[in-house]
Amino acid sequence: MKLLKSNVPVLLLMLFCCASVNKTDAQASVFSYQKYIEKGDTLNYRELFPDFDTLRKYPLVIFLHGSGERGNDNEAQLKWGVKNFATDEMMKLHPAIVIAPQCPEKKAWANFSRTNSTEMSLLPTPSRQMEMLITLVHKLIEKLPIDTNRIYITGLSMGGFGTFDAIARYPNLFAAAVPVCGGGDVSKAASIAHIPIWIFHGAEDAAVNPLLSINMMNALTKAGAHPGFTMYPETGHFSWIAAYSDPMMMEWLFRQHK
């Protein structure tokens, strides 16, 4: 009996872990497998369609993963963050079409030149992956019931840089942006000041200097914008865990319209 009692907490923990894994797998399974091919190049992506309702249009959320999820398996990009948009509660409160493209190995969403760890400049042309992504978005607008006044973009780490890159290059496309532990070109702040932006970063991020986010926040404020800014204390690079599980951020995001 003592052995049985001592195993009860372990059994409960195993049941909890199994339930959590099954729930995560279920959230991933609602993202269909898709690919976009252009001029011999392929952009894999996963797509969430919230409801079979042909009578209304939905907001579009573009989710950009980080460098660790690059590849061609069309799976890894769902590892962090994006599945928070696919919970039953979120799909009930804020049904949205969500696309999560996957960047190939050794490629990047953004195309910046880096002067140092706290300064960067947007290069004249987008990366091939960003170029294909934006073309894909316009094609999806033609065939899916997307509310073009509610196109949102968000991303973490490499995807946070990609988020700043995208809104700087295509400032009239997006209704809101949520860059997480990323950075951008402060000289472009005036051109994106009209876009609602909420920036997230960890105060102890050793991978991406928090000053990159702070500098963007300051430049946007100077340009007349009112960006949201959250710096998590005692948090390193994984600030996206808190950011994408924040119901206030989600509520804010889906309130935004062009």
Q: Does residue 12 form part of some domain?
A: no
Q: Does residue 9 form part of some domain?
A: no
Q: Does residue 48 form part of some domain?
A: yes
Q: Does residue 70 form part of some domain?
A: yes
Tally the domains of the chain.
1
d(Cα 137, Cα 241) in Å, to the nearest integer?
Answer: 26
Return averaged pLDDT per consecutive 10 residues of the chain, 258 residues in all: 47 50 62 96 96 89 97 97 96 96 97 89 97 98 97 98 98 98 97 98 97 98 98 97 97 97
Q: What range does the domain containing 238 cover?
A: 32-255
Unique residue bearing structure tokens 């973490």: 156
Decide: 130 and 50 in contact? Cβ < 8 Å: no
Domain of residue 180, CATH code = 3.40.50.1820
Q: Does residue 193 form part of some domain?
A: yes
**Residue partners of 201: CB distance under 8 A and separation at least 6:** 180, 181, 208, 210, 212, 213, 214, 230, 231, 232, 239
Q: Is residue 68 classed as helix, strand or coil in its secondary structure?
A: helix
Q: Does residue 26 form part of some domain?
A: no
pLDDT tens per residue across span 168-208: 999 999 999 999 999 999 999 999 999 999 999 999 999 99
Unique residue bearing structure tokens 């316009």: 138
Q: Does residue 20 form part of some domain?
A: no
d(Cα 106, Cα 69) in Å, to the nearest integer?
Answer: 11
The answer to whether the pTM exceeds 0.85 is yes
Q: Does residue 25 form part of some domain?
A: no
